[in-house]
C-alpha cells in the first residue's frame, strides 16, 4: 500500500493536470454565444485565442519550443473533437496556420521568436500574397519583384484575391528575386509588414456583398532582408513543403465541423417539414453518405502521416471531395429552407441569421481558392493514377 505521503506526492500539480481536463475547464469558462456584429465577433475570437495560448492550450500539434502542446496525433484528434463539440471559436486567421509550419521548419530563431506567439494569440493577423493577375493556378509565373538594396528588399508589383488583406498585420508573400527558371526557381518567401510605406490595399466586393479579399499594390516597399524565410530563390520549395501533420489534423477538424453542420441541417429539415419531401430526403441521405466519405478520407490522410508518408495524394482527393461537398450541402440547405432562403445574412428576419444563404454564396469559392477543382483533378490523375502530365511530362505515381 502506498503511504499517504506518496499518494500526495503523486497527485499532479495544477499545471500538470491532464490537458483534456484543463481544456474542458477552459471551454466551460469561455462558453458563450458569438456576438452578431462582425467586428465584435472578431475581437471575441481574438480574445479567446489569446487566453487559450496563455493557458498553454493552443497549437496541439506544434513542438513545445514553438509554443505548442506537442500532443501525439491521437490526442490531437481528441483535441479537435473537444473544441468542435464546445463550438469554440475558430482561430480568426486560418492563413496563420499556413505560414506557421513554414516558420517552424525554415524560420530563423529570431523569426520564430518574433512571429509565432503573436500569431497563435491572434494578436497579429496574416494574409497570403501568392496569387497575381497573371499567376493563379500557374503560380510560378508570378512577377512581383523584390530587389536587394543593402539590408533591405525593395518590392514592386501586385497581388490579387488576398484574403483578409485589409485586416492583416503581415503578409507571407512569394516574390521574384531572380528571372524565372524551371521548377519555380527565382522565387523567394518574404514576410512583409502590411503597414509599410508604399502598400495600397484595395478591397474587392465578394459574392456575399462583403470584402473578403483585396488587391494589394507594392510601390517601392522596403522590407528588411531579415524577413526572408530560408534561402533567397528557394521560396517555391519552402512554400510547397512543411504542411505535414498540420494538414492531416486540419482535415480532422473539418470532419468534426461538417458532422455538426450536417446534423444541424437534418434538424432544420425536421423543423421546416422539408424532410418529408421525397426528393429532399434523397439529397439528405446523399449528404450523410458524403460526410462519412469525408471522414474516411481524413483517416486515410492521418494513416499516411502515422505511417511516415506524405498525405499528398490523399490530401488532393480530400480537398476535391470536400470542396464539392461544401457546395452540395449548401444547395440542399437552400431547398430545405424554401423561399425563406432568399433572405441573406444582412436581413434581420432571415432564418438562422441567413447562415445557409451566406454559406451557399461563399461555397462557390471552395472549388477555386487554394487550388481549383481542375488542378486537384490534375494532381489526382498524375500522382494517384500515374497518368502522364497534362504538360506532356511523365509523372511519378505516389503511394496513398
Ligand atoms: C475566396 C478566395 C480567396 C482567395 N484567397 C487567396 C489568398 O488569400 N491569397 C492568394 O494568394 N490567393 C487567394 N485566392 C486565389 C486563388 O488561389 C486563385 O483564384 C486560384 O489559385 C486560381 O487562380 P486564378 O483565379 O488565377 O485562375 P486561373 O489559374 O487563371 O484558372 C482559370 C480557370 O482555368 C482552369 N485551369 C487553369 N490551369 C489549368 C490546368 N493546368 N488544367 C486544367 N484547368 C486549368 C482553372 O481550374 C480555372 O477554372 C483566393 C481565391 C478565392 C476564390
**Concatenated DSSP letters of 158-203:** EEEEEETTTT-SEEEEEEESS---GGGTTEEEEEEETTSTTEEEEE
* Per-residue pLDDT at 265 exceeds 80: yes
Output the pLDDT for position 398: 39
What is the rounded average pLDDT of the residues 127-156? 96
How far is 212 from 204, CA to CA, in rounded Å? 7
Q: How far is CA 54 from the centre of its chain?
A: 22
What is the rounded average pLDDT of the residues 249-277? 88
Choose between 189 and 210: higher pLDDT.
Answer: 189
Output the pLDDT for position 72: 86
What is the pTM (predicted TM-score) of this model?
A: 0.89
Q: Quick one: how many helices (H) and strands (E) in the chain?
A: 12, 8
Which 8-state DSSP code applies to residue 112? Answer: H
**Grid coordinates given for 47:** 480574445
**Grid coordinates given for 321:** 471531395
* Per-residue pLDDT at 244 exceeds 50: no
pLDDT-above-70 percentage for the chain: 88
* Per-residue pLDDT at 10 exceeds 50: no
In ligand 1, which atom is closest to the CA atom of 206?
A: 1
Considering the segment(s) 244-384 as one domain, its CATH architecture is Up-down Bundle (1.20)
Report whether 149 contacts 184 (CB < 8 A).
no
Closest listed residue to residue 165, CA positions, set 118, 197, 213: 213
For ligand 1, atom 16: residue with the closest CA: 369
How far is 263 from 391, CA to CA, in rounded Å? 43
What is the rounded average pLDDT of the residues 55-60? 95
Mutate to test the pocket of ligand 1, among 126, 204, 368, 395 (most ligand atoms within 8 A of CB): 368
Q: Which of 53, 132, 246, 382 is catalytic?
A: 246
Output the pLDDT for position 11: 47
The tens digit of pLDDT for each residue in 104-125 reads 989 999 999 999 999 999 999 9
Residues whose CB falls within 8 Å of the CB of residue 257, separated by 6 or more in sequence, listed in order: 84
The tens digit of pLDDT for each residue in 82-96 reads 998 899 999 999 889
**Grid coordinates given for 362:** 461563399
Distances (CA, A) of 29 to 25, 48, 135, 155: 6, 11, 46, 46
* Per-residue pLDDT at 2 exceeds 50: no
Output the pLDDT for position 257: 85
Q: Check the CA dihedral 114-119-121-127 and report its sign.
A: positive
- Residue 205 burial (CB < 10 Å; 0-12/13-18/19+)? exposed
Report whether 141 contacts 180 (CB < 8 A).
yes
* Whether CATH 3.40.50.620 fits 126-234: no
Report the separation in Å between the CA atom of 366 and the middle of ligand 1, taken as the mean of its atom positions: 10
Report whether 52 contacts 58 (CB < 8 A).
yes
Output the pLDDT for position 251: 67
Output the pLDDT for position 381: 93
Report the separation in Å between the CA atom of 371 and the middle of ligand 1, taken as the mean of its atom positions: 6
Mean confidence (pLDDT) of the chain: 88
Which 8-state DSSP code applies to residue 234? Answer: B
The model's confidence at residue 4, banded by pLDDT at 50, 70 and 90, is very low
Q: Is 246 a catalytic residue?
A: yes
Output the pLDDT for position 70: 92
How far is 102 from 90, CA to CA, in rounded Å? 21
Output the pLDDT for position 7: 39
The model's confidence at residue 249, banded by pLDDT at 50, 70 and 90, is low
How far is 196 from 192, CA to CA, in rounded Å? 8
Q: Name the segment(s) of the chain with CATH classification 2.40.110.10.
A: 126-234
Report whether 142 contacts 176 (CB < 8 A).
yes
- Residue 118 burial (CB < 10 Å; 0-12/13-18/19+)? middle
How far is 195 from 198, CA to CA, in rounded Å? 9
The β-bridge partners of 152 are 149, 224
The model's confidence at residue 278, banded by pLDDT at 50, 70 and 90, is very high
Q: Name the segment(s) of the chain with CATH classification 1.20.140.10.
A: 244-384
How far is 169 from 171, CA to CA, in rounded Å? 7
Most confident of 36-40, 164-168, 209-213: 164-168
The tens digit of pLDDT for each residue in 303-352 reads 776 676 766 777 778 888 889 999 999 999 999 999 988 887 778 888 88
Output the pLDDT for position 250: 64
How far is 245 from 239, CA to CA, in rounded Å? 15
How far is 214 from 275, CA to CA, in rounded Å? 40
Output the pLDDT for position 400: 33
Q: Ligand 1: which residues within 6 Å by Cβ? A: 127-131, 136-137, 161-163, 212-213, 365, 368-372, 374-375, 378, 390
Output the pLDDT for position 241: 63
Amino acid at each position: 500500500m502506498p503511504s499517504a505521503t506518496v499518494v500526495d506526492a503523486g497527485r499532479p500539480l495544477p499545471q500538470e493536470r491532464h490537458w483534456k481536463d484543463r481544456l474542458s475547464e477552459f471551454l466551460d469558462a469561455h462558453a458563450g454565444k458569438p456576438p452578431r456584429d462582425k467586428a465584435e465577433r472578431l475581437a471575441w475570437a481574438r480574445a479567446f485565442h489569446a487566453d487559450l495560448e496563455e493557458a498553454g492550450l493552443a497549437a496541439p500539434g506544434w513542438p513545445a519550443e514553438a509554443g505548442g502542446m506537442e500532443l501525439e496525433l491521437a490526442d490531437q484528434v481528441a483535441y479537435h473533437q473537444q473544441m468542435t463539440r464546445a463550438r469554440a471559436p475558430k482561430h480568426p486567421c486560418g492563413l496563420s496556420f499556413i505560414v506557421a509550419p513554414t516558420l517552424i521548419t525554415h524560420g530563423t530563431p529570431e523569426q520564430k521568436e518574433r512571429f509565432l506567439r503573436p500569431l497563435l494569440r491572434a494578436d497579429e493577423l496574416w494574409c497570403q500574397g501568392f496569387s497575381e493577375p497573371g499567376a493563379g493556378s500557374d503560380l510560378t509565373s508570378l512577377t512581383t519583384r523584390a530587389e536587394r538594396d543593402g539590408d533591405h528588399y525593395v518590392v514592386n508589383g501586385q497581388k490579387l484575391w488576398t484574403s483578409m488583406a485589409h485586416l492583416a498585420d503581415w503578409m507571407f508573400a512569394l516574390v521574384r528575386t531572380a528571372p524565372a527558371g524551371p521548377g519555380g526557381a527565382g522565387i523567394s518567401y518574404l514576410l512583409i509588414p502590411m503597414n509599410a510605406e508604399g502598400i495600397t490595399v484595395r478591397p474587392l466586393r465578394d459574392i456575399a456583398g462583403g470584402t473578403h479579399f483585396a488587391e494589394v499594390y507594392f510601390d517601392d516597399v522596403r522590407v528588411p532582408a531579415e524577413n526572408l524565410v530560408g534561402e533567397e530563390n528557394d521560396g517555391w520549395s519552402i512554400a510547397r513543403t512543411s504542411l505535414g501533420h498540420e494538414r492531416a489534423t486540419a482535415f480532422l477538424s473539418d470532419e468534426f465541423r461538417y458532422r455538426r453542420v450536417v446534423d444541424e441541417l437534418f434538424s432544420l429539415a425536421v423543423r421546416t417539414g422539408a424532410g418529408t419531401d421525397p426528393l429532399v430526403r434523397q439529397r439528405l441521405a446523399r449528404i450523410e453518405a458524403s460526410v462519412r466519405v469525408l471522414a474516411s478520407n481524413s483517416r486515410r490522410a492521418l494513416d499516411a502521416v502515422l505511417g511516415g508518408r506524405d498525405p499528398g495524394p490523399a490530401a488532393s482527393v480530400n480537398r476535391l471531395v470536400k470542396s464539392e461537398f461544401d457546395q452540395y450541402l449548401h444547395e440542399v440547405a437552400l431547398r430545405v429552407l424554401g423561399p425563406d432562403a432568399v433572405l441573406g445574412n444582412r436581413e434581420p428576419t432571415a432564418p438562422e441569421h441567413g447562415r445557409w444563404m451566406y454559406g451557399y454564396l461563399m461555397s462557390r469559392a471552395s472549388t477555386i481558392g487554394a487550388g481549383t477543382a481542375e488542378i486537384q483533378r490534375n494532381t489526382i490523375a498524375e500522382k494517384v493514377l500515374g497518368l502522364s502530365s497534362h504538360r506532356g511530362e511523365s509523372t511519378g505515381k505516389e503511394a496513398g
